Amino acid sequence: EAQVTQNPRYLITVTGKKLTVTCSQNMNHEYMSWYRQDPGLGLRQIYYSMNVEVTDKGDVPEGYKVSRKEKRNFPLILESPSPNQTSLYFCASNHIGGRTIYGYTFGSGTRLTVV
Amino acid sequence: AQTVTQSQPEMSVQEAETVTLSCTYDTSENNYYLFWYKQPPSRQMILVIRQEAYKQQNATENRFSVNFQKAAKSFSLKISDSQLGDTAMYFCAFMKEDYTGANSKLTFGKGITLSVRP
């Protein structure tokens, strides 16, 4: 089954304790992206990657890091989490090229709480 | 930069009736894609319908259809014969057409919460 797998689904952590949210896709998609969803703000892009070793900032990159060492994986790293990073996070992937765009395939989301 | 506006935060509809969710966007691009995503309480983001800007015909998927007005930059979603399972948050989203992938970003509106009453 074609899917984007995120882990964990729920995470509670303390301020300053480094954490990683994993994301993996099995569709051989070139493009991967991280979004955060906050009430009243919709989804905002954090980082994206167009292919292996190619990453760039989205609209709200502060406090986050990403890496793309393999095509299928795109982890999100919070080196020193703060309470304002409490949010719902989504990983998504998409195929690049051709005129037909099917939209992103999303993971199931990670609910992160930083206390 | 593109912006997507969903001005209604909440709507309610009686089961079996029809409801229309509004969305406007702002862009200087001529070629782009528009989407409606559904997010039920399970949090999963589900693609409901998509529209290519170069197509004049409005997209339809079963009970879901859009009214795409390119000149007015309007992209509303009509849900016919509403069902209890349609209760969810709905997001309108924009993507510029770019084969290089550099601008494959989906820009979302703030969403609208739709409640279907039994």
Cross-chain residue pair B105–A48, CB shorter than 8 Å: yes
- Between A88, A94, A98, which is nearest B43 by CB? A88
First vs last C-alpha separation in chain B: 41
- Between A40, A103, A108, which is nearest B35 by CB? A103
Indicate the DSSP class of residue B84.
G
B102 token code pair: 């550099």
Least confident of A72-81, A101-110, B59-68: A101-110
Chains A–B, number of C-beta pairs less than 8 Å apart: 70
Instruction: Give B100's pLDDT tier (boundaries 50, 70, 90).
Output: low
Average per-residue pLDDT for chain B: 93
CA distance A22 to chain B (A): 17
Cross-chain residue pair A106–B45, CB shorter than 8 Å: yes
pLDDT computed for residue A98 by the predictor: 59
Query: d(Cα B64, Cα B82) in Å, to the nearest integer?
Result: 10
User: CB-based contact (8 Å) between B28 and chain A?
Assistant: no
Instruction: Give B96's pLDDT tier (boundaries 50, 70, 90).
Output: confident
User: CB-based contact (8 Å) between B94 and chain A?
Assistant: no
Label each residue of chain A as H, E or C: CCCEEEECCEEEECCCCCEEEEEEECCCCCEEEEEEEECCCEEEEEEEEEECCEEEECCCCCCCEECCCCCCECCEEECCCCHHHCEEEEEEEECCCCCCCCCCEECCCEEEEEC
pLDDT computed for residue A99 by the predictor: 56
Query: d(Cα B30, Cα B46) in Å, to the nearest integer?
Result: 26
The pLDDT tens digits for B11-30 are 999 999 999 999 999 999 88
pLDDT computed for residue B39 by the predictor: 97
Q: A62: which residues sit within 8 A by CB, 6+ positions away?
A: none
Between the CA of residue B44 and those of A91, A95, B24, B39, what are the distances in Å? 11, 20, 24, 6
Instruction: Give A100's pLDDT tier (boundaries 50, 70, 90).
Output: low
The pLDDT tens digits for A9-46 are 999 999 999 999 999 999 998 889 999 999 989 999 99
CA distance B17 to chain A (A): 27
User: CB-based contact (8 Å) between A30 and chain B?
Assistant: yes
The pLDDT tens digits for B70-79 are 999 999 999 9
Residue B95 has pLDDT above 80, yes or no: yes
Average per-residue pLDDT for chain A: 93
Task: Check: CB of residue A21 under 8 Å from CB of residue A11.
Answer: yes
Residue B105 has pLDDT above 90, yes or no: no
Query: d(Cα B58, Cα B46) in Å, to the nearest integer?
Result: 20
Task: Check: CB of residue B93 under 8 Å from CB of residue B106.
Answer: yes
- What are the backbone angles phi and psi of residue A38, rounded to the nearest 5°? -130, 145
Label each residue of B7-19 as H, E or C: CCCEEEEECCCCE
